[in-house]
Amino acid sequence: MAAIEHIQYVNATPAQVYDALTSERGLAEVWTDDLTVQAVQGAVNEFRFGEAGLVRVKITEWLPRSRLAWRCLDSDPQWIGTQISFDLEAREGKTAVVLRHEGWREVTEFYRWCNYNWAMFLYSLKSYCEEGVGLPFQRRRF
């Protein structure tokens, strides 16, 4: 099975980064502003991307300030059943964020496109945590 893995260093505390990854306000700035989010383990959250589709994920791990994990329930068929995780670690006044998207059955064109877009997600997360403004789907140019 294939996996996507990225790291980003954010000039913010793990608590601030975790809040951005779990709150409606944060996720609306980082990923998409068309969402339904509950910040609790076991919740099923929805992220909508216009004609590009819907992503429904279940929160499977919730460790404040250190780890968040989702299991994809609905999206593009290549995403269904995959796991997305965010591991946070304080390092020299910054937070290292490791994003993993695991469980891909194969490396496809869509996998490669998603790999790029997860890097953009981390850029948006960094921008939001450091400057208060992210780059969600609705403000990106494709």
Over residues 20-49, the pLDDT tens digits come to 999 999 999 999 999 999 999 999 999 999
Residue identified by tokens 């469980």 is 103
User: What CATH class has 2-134?
Assistant: alpha beta
Confidence of residue 141 (pLDDT cuts 50, 70, 90): confident
- pTM of the entire predicted model: 0.96
- Exposed, middle or buried by CB within 10 Å (0-12, 13-18, 19+), for 140? exposed
